[in-house]
Chains A and B, each alone.
Chain A
Amino acid sequence: MIAMRIVVPVKQVPDLVEELELNSEGSDIDREFVKFVANEWDEQALEEALLIKEAVGAQVSVVAFDEPDVDQTLYTALARGADEAVKLTGAGDGWLSTAERSRLLAQWLSGQSYDMVITGVQASDDLDGQLAGTLGGLLGVPHASVVVGVEPGSGSVTVTQELAGGTVVRTEIATPCVLGMQTARQAPRYAPISRIRQAMSAGGLESVEAPGEATGPTDGIELLRLYPPEKAGRAEMISGDAPAVAERIVEILASKGLVKL
C-alpha cells in the first residue's frame, strides 16, 4: 500500500511582537523593518500532519513561497520530521494576497498527487479570505476549516470542526481534501537546533519555479488607507497598590448594585 501524501502549505507573517510601521505611502507595512516568522496556525497544521504520519504512515511535504526567512521555517519543518520541503520561487517579492497564493498553489497542486492538504486555519495578514477554503474552492475538493481533530480512514478522513460555544461537528470527508487547522492534538514539537542545522547542511530544500507570477491584489478591492485603530474609549486606570485597587473595584461593583458593601 502506498502511504498517503499530506501537503502542508506554510507562510511567513510579520512578528506581531513588534509594533508595525507603515511604509511612506501608507499602503502597506514597512516590510524592510518588520521581522517575519512562521504563521502559528501553520505550525499546528504541520504538527497534526506529523502526528498522522506517526500514527498511520504518510509522506509529509511542506511547501512555501520564497518569503523572508522562509528557509529557516522550511528547514525547521524538515527537522521536525517532514519528508520534503518545497520552495516556490519567482512569484514576486511583495506580499502575496490569499487569492494569489491560492491560485498559484492550486496550479502547483494540480501537478501533484496528494490525499490531504493541511494548512493553518488563518494568518494574521488574511485580508481576502483564508487559504484552506479558497484552495478547496479552486481545487474543487471538499474542505473544512477550524479543524481540531483529524482521523484518517481509508479513502476518507473524519474531521472534527469546532463551532461557536464549543459545539463540535464530526464529518467524514472523501480524500483528497483541504483542511484548515485550528489546534493540533498536541503543541508543535521542538526542533533541536542541531537537527535544523543538519537539515540545512544536507540542503534538503527543493526550489521549484512557481507556476506563475503574482498579479497584484484581488480585482475589485481597492485599499484606501491602512492605519492603527484609534485608542478610543480607553479604560479609566485605577491607581494605587493591590489593596487600594481591590477597594476601588468593590466600590465600583457596589455602585452598580452588584455587591453589597
Chain B
Amino acid sequence: MPVGGRKQPPVATELEQATVTSSLSGREWELPGMWNRMFESRVLSGYTTSELARISSLPGGESIEWCYGCGKCVPVCPVDLVGEYGPRKLHRKAQTGVNLLGDADLWMCTTCGNCLRVCPKEVDMIQIMPAAREAAVTDGIMPPELQDVFEKTFRQGNCLGENPRRRHAWTKGAGVPVRVLASDPRPVDVLFYVEDYWSYHPRGQQAAQAFARIADALGVDWAILGAEEKTLGDSQRTAGEKGLFEALMEDVVATLGKYSFNRIVTPDPHGFNALRKVYPTYGHNFDVLHYTQLLAPLIDRAEWAGSVEAKVTFHDPCYLGRHNGEYDAPRRLLAAIPGVELVEMSRCRENGYCCGGGGGGMWLDGFNSDRVTERLSERRVKEAAETGADILAVCCPYEVSRFEDAAKSTGNEHLKVLDIVELVDAAMFPR
C-alpha cells in the first residue's frame, strides 16, 4: 500500500482477440489485439507546433524540444504523485498547442530537479520553468498570491512583507551577542546570511537563535548584515521574476562590497543555490557554504551537556541535495548528536521527495490546492511517520512551517519537526 495519495495504478488487460457489440446497431465486431498496437510510426498532424516553438525560443527554454517522450520523468515527479502533472505531460500539452503561459499547470513545478536526474535527453525543467514563467509574468499573468509576494519582496526586500528594520530582531533572544556589521564593520571570517524565514518566521527565529549559540560555542568568527540584508530571492527567480532577482542582486552585491569577509554561510538552500550557481553567471563570485557544511567539520569540538534520545529521520532539501550535491554534512551533524538514531525514509538523498516549497511553491499552496489530492508536504510527513521516527529533522527554512502544518493536518502531531540546528542546540545546551 503506497503512502497517501489517491492515484490508482493503471489496470491493463491485454487480449489477443475480442468481440465487441455496437450499442447502436447491435452488430458484432471482431477486434484482433494487434489492432491498437502501433508497429509503424505515424505522423501526427492537426496540431500546431507554435506553442512548443514559443517555449523553446525563450532563453532557458531550449531543451523542451529535446524531449522524445520517454516519460521517465513522470513517475519521479513529486507533483504527479499527488496530481496529474509531470514534465512529459506538460511537454505533451505544449505539443498539442495548449497555451502553457495561460495554463494553471505552469505554476505547479517546484523545480525539485528529480526529472532532470533521470532524463536521458537532459530536458532541464530548472531552466524551462523560470523562463516560461518569466514570459507569463511579463504579460501580467500569475497567481495573485505570487504577485503579492513579488510586490512585497520588491518593496521590503523580504517575501513576508516584514519591516526591513526588524531583520535582526531575532538576535535579542539568542542569549549570546550577535555582531551586526553596520555597527561593527571590522573584517570577519563568516558572513552569516540569515534569509527571510530565519529572520522573521517565529519558528525560523528559534533556529537562528540556536545557530547563534552553537556558532558562539564552536568559536566561529561570524557576523550578520542586520537591516542591510535583503533576500537573495532565488525562489522568486524560479517562480518567474528574474528582474526582481537581478534588482535584489544589485543591492546585495553593493552591500557585500562594503565589508570584508572570507565566506558566506546561509541556512537557506535556495539562497545557497543563488550564490553558488547563479551569482557566478553574472560575474559575482563568493565562497559560500550551507550552515551544515560550516558546522559539520567543527562538530567534534562540541561539548555535549545533554542528548536527544530519539529516532530521527531526515528530509533532504532539494536545493542542498539534488541541486548542489550535499547529502553528507546534515547527516554528519545528526550522527554527532548523542542519542540520535537516524532512520532513512525510502525516498532520500538523490531521490528525496520534495516538500513542495521550491520554485515559488512555498507561496502557492492555495492556488495549487484544486489540482492536488494532498500537499507534497503532507505526503512527505506521512512517509516520515511511516519510518516510526519521533522527529523529522530538516535543514531548509521553508520546511519547518510546511511540515509542522502537514503533521497536524495528517494526524501525525506526534512527529516533531525540528531543524538540525535545534537538535544540536538541544543536546549542547539542554534546558
A194 near B242 (CB under 8 angstroms)? yes
B243 near A190 (CB under 8 angstroms)? no
| B16-72 CB contacts (< 8 Å) to partner A | none
A193 near B244 (CB under 8 angstroms)? yes
B140 near A190 (CB under 8 angstroms)? yes
A190 near B150 (CB under 8 angstroms)? yes
Give, as a whole number of angstroms, the nearest-CB distance from A146 to chain B.
24
A155 at the interface (CB under 8 A from B): no
A6 at the interface (CB under 8 A from B): no
A residues in contact with B247, CB < 8 Å: 193, 196-197
A residues in contact with B242, CB < 8 Å: 194
A194 near B140 (CB under 8 angstroms)? no
A194 near B246 (CB under 8 angstroms)? yes
A residues in contact with B142, CB < 8 Å: 190
A219 at the interface (CB under 8 A from B): no
Q: Report the bound CA distance from A189 to B138 in whole Å.
A: 11
B241 near A72 (CB under 8 angstroms)? no
A72 near B161 (CB under 8 angstroms)? no
B246 near A190 (CB under 8 angstroms)? no
A248 at the interface (CB under 8 A from B): no
Cβ-Cβ contact count across A and B, 8 Å cutoff = 44
A185 at the interface (CB under 8 A from B): no
B140 near A189 (CB under 8 angstroms)? yes
Q: Whose C-beta in chain B lies nearest to the C-beta of A17?
A: B161
Give, as a whole number of angstroms, the nearest-CB distance from A243 to chain B.
15
- Interface size class for chain B? 20 to 34
A35 near B163 (CB under 8 angstroms)? yes
A227 at the interface (CB under 8 A from B): no
Q: Report the bound CA distance from A17 to B164 in whole Å.
A: 12
B residues in contact with A193, CB < 8 Å: 150, 154, 241, 243-244, 246-247
Most chain B CB inside 10 Å of its own CB: which residue of A33, A35, A72: A35
Q: Mark A193-208, 1 if CB is under 8 A from B, else 0.
A: 1111100000000000
A37 at the interface (CB under 8 A from B): yes
Q: Report the bound CA distance from A6 to B56 in whole Å.
A: 41
Q: Mark A3-43, 1 if CB is under 8 A from B, else 0.
A: 00000000000010110000000000000010101000000
Q: Report the bound CA distance from A187 to B147 in whole Å.
A: 12
Q: Which of the residues B137, B147, B156, B243 comes within 8 Å of A35, measured between beta carbons?
A: B156
B155 near A72 (CB under 8 angstroms)? yes
A residues in contact with B156, CB < 8 Å: 35
**Given A37-B155, A72-B155 in contact, is the A192-B246 Cβ separation under 8 Å?**
no
Q: Whose C-beta in chain B lies nearest to the C-beta of A200?
A: B247
Q: Report the bound CA distance from A195 to B150 in whole Å.
A: 14
A33 near B155 (CB under 8 angstroms)? no
B165 at the interface (CB under 8 A from A): yes
B residues in contact with A37, CB < 8 Å: 155
A192 near B163 (CB under 8 angstroms)? no
Q: Mark A52-77, 1 if CB is under 8 A from B, else 0.
A: 00000000000000000000100000
Q: Report the bound CA distance from A193 to B140 in whole Å.
A: 11
Give, as a whole number of angstroms, the nearest-CB distance from B166 to chain A.
9
Give, as a whole number of angstroms, the nearest-CB distance from A205 to chain B.
17
B residues in contact with A190, CB < 8 Å: 137, 140, 142, 147, 150-151
